[in-house]
């Protein structure tokens, strides 16, 4: 089952071209006593840890050295003595040895507020390489004198590398300049690449957040990054789904466009690699029906780590609400930070690392979406979160239930295909027809912790979507806005792994949507009938099943088939051809010959999938 051979050869060739360099990746995860092994009951100490890894590579992409920084913000109920802070190597639900030590030995915090900023004294290049390859196989542990083996723990998730640039777009920057157009736009381009084992970019996302101010009604038909220096025109290298057919119309010429582009091709990944190395060789262009070649343009320049909003005190506010204060939590906030709401500066103050912002009264006067960004002293803005303003009359009494689209189970993993069940969530049924996936489909938009969610399918009772890749474990707030203004709410329980297997009937029950092979090379046997009953396969067959929620498991992958438990799995991870889709490869043991109808369950990091039916002869 060798996949994408040509692509891997290209990636290997590409990494040889990369010079020695450094990259910085982070993991922001919530600490919890419930994550300890065994869980600690009765300890209420909410908080987070931000781990920053600086990775140095040689010309071939091998990790040669690095640095690890620990930032912790935790509030205990009373005085606490912290005795250790480490990164351990171990899967979720298991314990493992210390691999990166912050050097903390003992420190007492009389008021219970623990704030730490420490660096690991020694960083093994080999261990850092293992962590970059499989971050879910490592965890952070905070130790106290009361709980010496660990009080608060967080399993690492995906590591995130973020670079951004905020720039002004102007008609005067177009080539040739656009004369007579009194329009401007402020764009924040946020790049979040993923890298292969050698450090070459192999995917990720680029987010476009553009707040525009045009003199009158305008129709936007394109938003792209082009490759060319100032004063010249170049081709599109990273483009959004905005087009003449999929346009954005602004009746008054003012508003915000917020679109995220997943990098799914080698050409896009290569463009981002070049842009990070030479940003001034690229520009951002916003196109309209009147100015199809470009209405406003801005040249890129140096990119830097931006502020990041990780959560807000509310994601839904009623118009005219007496409480118009929003508390933002995140990274990169300081006393010089300001908050931007729909392009306008709002009053904000820093307290205990959080930003409290007073939402402008005009922004709360009518239903709509507020795009909230944090701007640092250098003018660099964060990617936005969305806070929905909705009237009481438009609130849907039916609570939306969210989970895994394959297993039809509640709860989901980051970067997986999602399911939302409810009512009045869309005025019509529609399926996405473009990639990048739309963030509004048939007038319906979905926000999870204020992040726009890409949509695959919408109807009144069901939505299928792609859950964002950077979700931290815990409860996430869900807000759904339909075209008629109906607002539904719910929660999503996020865990690192939440395996689900797609079935033929697309409801999580019956036979799987899978294929089998007698030799492991030619997969020609369909494993299910149209009615969801299983097709007979032979013991010893190789099987490929498809699902979602697999890709972040820490390495603890096994399956059970009826009474046979702890059976080996050949592969459980990214399928590679479709967004959010994962693949499970296995072989049916010969010992199960003539078992007849049986149930298969995939177990990742101790979490079971939905059972699927097999028929074995």
The string of DSSP letters for 153-195 reads EEE----B--EEEEEEEBGGGSSSPPPS---EEEEEEEEEEEE
Does 393-494 match 163-299 at the fold level? yes
Share of the chain above pLDDT 90, in %: 82
Q: What is the mean pLDDT of the chain?
A: 92
Q: What is the third-level CATH fold of 308-389?
A: Immunoglobulin-like (2.60.40)
Domain 18-155 in CATH 2.40.50? The answer is no
pTM over 0.85: yes
Query: Cis peptide before 397, with omega less than 30 degrees from 0?
Result: no
pLDDT at 527: 97
Nearest to 169 by CA among 228, 198, 132, 209: 209
Nearest residue to 328 via CA among 304, 361, 358, 306? 358
Of the options 1.10.287, 3.30.70, 1.10.510, 2.60.40, the CATH number for the domain spanning 163-299: 2.60.40
Contact predicate 425/441, CB 8 Å? no
Task: List the chain domain ranges.
Answer: 18-155, 163-299, 308-389, 393-494, 500-616
Tell me yes or no: is domain 393-494 CATH 3.10.620. Answer: no
Q: Cα torsion for 264, 265, 267, 272, to the nearest 10°?
A: 20
Q: What is the pLDDT of residue 21?
A: 57
Q: Could you tell me what percent of the chain has a pLDDT over 70?
A: 96
Tell me which of 1.10.10, 2.60.40, 3.30.70, 1.20.1530 is the CATH number of domain 500-616.
Answer: 2.60.40
What pLDDT was estimated at residue 486? Answer: 98
For the stretch 245-270, pLDDT in tens is: 999 999 999 999 999 999 999 999 99
At residue 4, the pLDDT reads 37
The partner residues of 576 in beta bridges, in order of sequence, read none
Task: Tell which residue, 443, 453, 450, 448, has the closest CA to residue 481.
Answer: 443
Write out residues in the chain with pLDDT < 50, as ranges. 1-19
Burial class (CB in 10 A: 0-12, 13-18, 19+), 584: buried
Bond into 302 cis (ω within 30): no
The pLDDT of residue 15:
34
CA gap 314, 388 in Å, rounded = 9
């Amino acid at each position: 089952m060798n996949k994408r051979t040509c692509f891997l050869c290209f990636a290997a060739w590409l990494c040889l071209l990369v010079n020695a360099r450094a990259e910085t990746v982070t993991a922001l995860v919530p600490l919890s006593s419930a994550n300890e092994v065994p869980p600690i009951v009765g300890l209420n100490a909410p908080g987070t840890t931000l781990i920053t890894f600086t990775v140095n590579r040689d010309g071939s992409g091998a990790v040669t050295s690095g640095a690890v920084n620990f930032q912790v913000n935790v509030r205990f109920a009373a005085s606490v003595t912290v005795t250790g802070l480490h990164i351990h190597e171990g899967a979720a639900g298991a314990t493992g040895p210390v691999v990166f030590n912050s050097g903390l030995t003992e420190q007492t915090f009389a008021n219970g507020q623990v704030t730490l900023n420490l660096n690991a004294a020694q960083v093994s290049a080999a261990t850092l390489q293992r962590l970059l390859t499989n971050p879910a196989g490592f965890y952070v542990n905070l130790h106290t004198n009361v709980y010496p083996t660990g009080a608060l723990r967080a399993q690492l998730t995906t590591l995130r590398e973020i670079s951004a640039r905020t720039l002004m777009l102007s008609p005067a920057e177009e080539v040739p300049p656009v004369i007579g157009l009194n329009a401007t736009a402020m764009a924040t381009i946020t790049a979040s690449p993923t890298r292969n084992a050698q450090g070459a970019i192999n995917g990720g996302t680029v987010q476009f957040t553009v707040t525009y101010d045009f003199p009158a009604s305008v129709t936007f038909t394109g938003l792209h990054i082009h490759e060319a220096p100032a004063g010249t025109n170049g081709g599109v290298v990273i483009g959004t789904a905005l087009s003449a057919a999929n346009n954005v119309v602004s009746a008054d010429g003012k508003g915000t466009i917020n679109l995220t582009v997943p990098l799914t091709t080698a050409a896009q990944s290569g463009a981002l690699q070049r842009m990070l190395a030479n940003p001034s060789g690229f520009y951002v262009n916003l196109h309209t029906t009147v100015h199809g070649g470009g209405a406003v343009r801005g040249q890129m320049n140096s990119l830097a780590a931006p502020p990041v909003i990780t959560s807000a005190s509310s994601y839904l506010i009623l118009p005219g609400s007496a409480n118009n204060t929003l508390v933002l939590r995140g990274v990169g906030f300081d006393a010089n930070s300001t908050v931007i709401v729909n392009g306008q500066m709002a009053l904000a103050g820093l307290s205990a690392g959080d930003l409290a912002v007073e939402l402008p009264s005009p922004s709360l006067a009518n239903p709509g979406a507020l795009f909230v960004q944090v701007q640092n002293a250098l003018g660099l803005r964060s990617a936005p979160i969305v806070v929905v303003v909705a009237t009481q009359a438009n609130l849907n009494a039916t609570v939306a239930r969210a989970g895994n689209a394959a297993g039809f189970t509640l709860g989901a993993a980051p970067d997986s295909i999602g399911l939302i069940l409810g009512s009045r969530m869309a005025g019509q049924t529609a399926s996405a027809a473009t990639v990048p996936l739309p963030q509004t489909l048939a007038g319906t938009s979905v926000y999870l912790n204020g992040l726009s969610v890409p949509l695959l399918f919408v109807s009144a009772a069901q939505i299928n979507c792609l859950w964002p890749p950077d979700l931290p474990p815990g409860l996430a707030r869900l807000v759904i806005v339909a075209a008629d203004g109906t607002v539904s709410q719910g929660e999503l329980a996020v865990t690192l792994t939440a395996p689900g297997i797609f079935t033929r009937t697309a409801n999580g029950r019956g036979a799987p949507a899978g294929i089998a092979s007698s030799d492991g090379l030619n997969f020609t046997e369909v494993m299910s009938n149209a009615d969801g009953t299983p097709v007979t396969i032979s013991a010893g067959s190789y099987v490929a099943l498809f699902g979602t929620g697999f890709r972040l498991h820490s390495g603890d992958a096994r399956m059970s088939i009826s009474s046979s438990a702890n059976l080996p799995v050949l592969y459980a991870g990214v399928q590679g051809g479709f967004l959010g889709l994962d693949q499970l490869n296995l072989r049916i043991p010969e010992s199960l010959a003539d078992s007849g109808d049986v149930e298969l369950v995939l177990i990742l990091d101790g979490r079971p999938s939905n059972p699927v039916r097999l028929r074995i002869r």
